[in-house]
Structure 1
Amino acid sequence: MENLSRNARAITAVIHLFIDTNAYLNFYHFSEDALEELNKLSVAIRSKEILLYIPMQVVDEFNRNRENKISDALSKFRNQPIPDQFPNITKTYDEYKEMRSHLEAVRKTRASLLEKIRIEIDARELAADRIIESVFTAGKSIKTDDDIVEEAVKRANRGNPPGKNGSLGDGINWLTLLNSVPKKTDLYLVTEDEDFVSKLDGNRLCEFLRREWISEKESNVYLYRKLTDFFRDKYPEIKLASELEKQLAIDALVTSPNFKSTHAAIKDLTKHSDFTDTELNEIVQAMVSNKQISMIFEDEDVKTFSEQILRGREGVIDPVLYQEFSTIYSYINPDDIPF
């Protein structure tokens, strides 16, 4: 029988990820990264798909620079010109009056928007605030000890990257990662900081840092300039956080190693109802081939879930797969077999 799942997934290794402070701060400014990228990150961390390293140096840098970043963004937004002068030749047209009316509405709306934003800034209740706080809470927090700072000073004095003009922050973060990431574990690094980037290839880590990492960790570092680039590479078909959450729940069911994890995966999957035909076939395939699911087919949650997802969609399941499924899950009506 043909396996209709997207692929026969092995249990993949956890992705070890570091995001530089500037990437978080960009969510308060004009940036190609949308807040949905942070939502996807939060989902992946909670699902233990990603282990995010958060040195306290990053948290301190974020808190120091948040106000400045917001202030600069609002200043640019506030000062964007709204036309208030029109040549005389336009004033005899109906469109002129319409434009004047719309522009006045824009001025009032912008003022109202800025006031709402000001209130949420003070309360740290901006959408970016809430999501970043959840990411920081879910990630692996790492204290900055005196030994790291001392080593960063020595590193800066020797002129070794990352870092410039006597700044220690990048060096502290790099040394923290060298001390924290397990040996033989690849690291995925998101930063726009040129101190990390190769002068020959803007998509690679600089040669000094790359060689240092390989020497000490016996693994690789993969560089991304934006969080969007990371998700585009690792999850190319996922556009929304809800889609990622659904896919990770399907993966958890497919690879479930015991009854407990099966029940947990079923619980997560019941939050979704918009399964594609491919996803539905993948779920049914898992329920047939994974004994950690089929051996508890009479448990109430498994029974309810299997009945709900198939109701009215029996025809999209591969006929051979559906026949095998209905044989195991005997409460499924065999008259619904789509052939």
Structure 2
Amino acid sequence: MPALHLFIDTNIFLNFYSFSDDKLEILDELKELTAPGQIVLHLPKQVENELKRNREAKLQVAMSDFKKAQLPTGVPHHMRGSEAARQYDEAVKSAEQAKKLLIANAIALALSDELEVDQKLSRLFEKATRYVEDDELYQKALVRMNKGNPPGKAQSIGDRYIWETLLAQVPNGDLFIVSKDGDYASPLTMDKNTRPLAFLAEEWNERKQGGHLTIFRTINEVVAYYKNTQNQPDAGEHVATRIPEEPENPEVEDDGQRQVPETPAPALQFGVPPQEVIAAVPREEIEAAILQLVESGSFATTHFAVANLNRYRQSLTKQDAERLFQAAIDNSQIGWIVSDEDVNDFYLSLITQWVTEINQELADSIIELLGLSPETPVEEIF
């Protein structure tokens, strides 16, 4: 399979100096997967500069919060006077001293760039595809900022400079972004199923020959996604069910008259919904199409089944929608890629038509899976 092209926003790296959603070990795991033909980590110089500029401020806030956190020292009167109470008092004093030493040690390591996270990031960056400063791209970022085009907040050029670098340097095709600050993601989606900002998705699609953007909020999520794609059976092992066609006889004789049979429907292309909508089809065809998605055993089959089902979308019933919603919840081969554009669009269409009519518990579950409850954006430091 082709390499996975990855960009990680500065806020994700900075969070390792505080209370990250990712464990520190994920940096080692990502480093091992960063190689030609596997994961290609794109690292603009602007990201490295932002990390250097904001690292110490992030550390200071984290250490201050840790220092302020107090151990419970007040012991109720009925617990006092016992050996256990004495041991507790000693343990609290010991913990306070250990905390003081821990903070001092961390500050010393931080000032020397010798924190464990410093070393892990340095080793990861060595394997990344790095891009130097580019004045021409910076000028493009200025124009983008003055026009008010995303990504980034008003009068902020950093994310726009990074985006122009990615547009110029990343090969045609898909790009996976790990970010938490909302500059690349739609404000209408939650962390469980983050969709890219429509403006950026359309721009990437136009500039990168149909490429798609996918947004993750943690490195662990994208690494798990990559491993799942690696564990998928080869595409050649899957022979997708074709839509029923006319018999393949070259010609048919009827009362001595030569008849040319109708041209059979073309096989579905991977991930491309057929353009026509079948108005009236036998129920068994719809059942077969639903079953193909419900029992999907691979990402490739899921994409094909979704494309197939788009043909019958207008013929689906409430019961069909409930089966398909339940399948997205139960079947990891659907749930893992429910944020992929074709799968997501298909389920959103089912939501708009059936969410008010289906079982409330099921509706709540599918709403959570698709991330359809807007969250309050959290401003990140820097």
For 1:134, the equivalent position in structure 2 comes to 123
For 2:341, the equivalent position in structure 1 comes to none
Is 1:216 aligned to 2:207, yes or no?
yes
Partner SS state of residue 41, structure 2 = strand
Matches within 5 A, 1:320-331: none
Letter in 2 for 1:143: V
- Give the Cα–Cα distance (whole angstroms) in 1 for the partners of residues 48 and 115 of structure 2: 17
| Alignment check: 8 A CA contact 2:2 2:37 kept | no
Matches within 5 A, 1:1-339: 12-46=1-35, 49-183=38-172, 185-202=173-190, 203-217=194-208, 218-235=210-227
Letter in 1 for 2:195: R
- Give the Cα–Cα distance (whole angstroms) in 2 for the partners of residues 200 and 117 of structure 1: 39
Q: Deviations over 1:80-128 (max 9, x none)?
A: 0122332322213333222112111111211221222122111111111
| Alignment check: 8 A CA contact 1:45 1:139 kept | yes
Partner SS state of residue 13, structure 2 = helix
Deviation, 1:236, is: 5.0
Deviation, 1:137, is: 1.6
Identify which of structures 1 and 2 has the higher relative contact order when contacts are C-alpha pairs closer than 8 Å and 6+ apart: 1
Partner SS state of residue 136, structure 1 = helix
- Give the Cα–Cα distance (whole angstroms) in 1 for the partners of residues 229 and 106 of structure 2: 33
Q: How many equivalent residue pairs?
A: 227
> What residue ranges of structure 2 are gaps of 5+ in the alignment?
232-382
Q: 1:50 to 1:153 in 2, by over 3 A?
A: same
Instruction: Report the more deviating stretch, 28-37 or 39-48.
Output: 39-48
TM-score after normalising by structure 2: 0.57
Partner SS state of residue 196, structure 1 = coil
- Give the Cα–Cα distance (whole angstroms) in 2 for the partners of residues 29 and 189 of structure 1: 21
| Alignment check: 8 A CA contact 2:148 2:154 kept | no
User: RMSD over aligned Cα, in angstroms?
Assistant: 1.8
Deviation, 1:46, is: 4.5
Q: Deviations over 1:234-256 (max 9, x none)?
A: 22599xxxxxxxx9xxxxxxxxx
Q: Deviations over 1:41-75 (max 9, x none)?
A: 11111475211111000010000001011111111
Q: 1:177 to 1:115 in 2, by over 3 A?
A: same
More helix by share: 1
Deviation, 1:139, is: 0.6
TM-score after normalising by structure 1: 0.64
Letter in 2 for 1:214: N
Letter in 1 for 2:138: V
Partner SS state of residue 13, structure 1 = coil
Percent identity over the alignment is: 32
Letter in 2 for 1:40: E
| Alignment check: 8 A CA contact 1:144 1:176 kept | no
For 2:344, the equivalent position in structure 1 comes to none
Deviation, 1:143, is: 1.6
Letter in 2 for 1:140: T
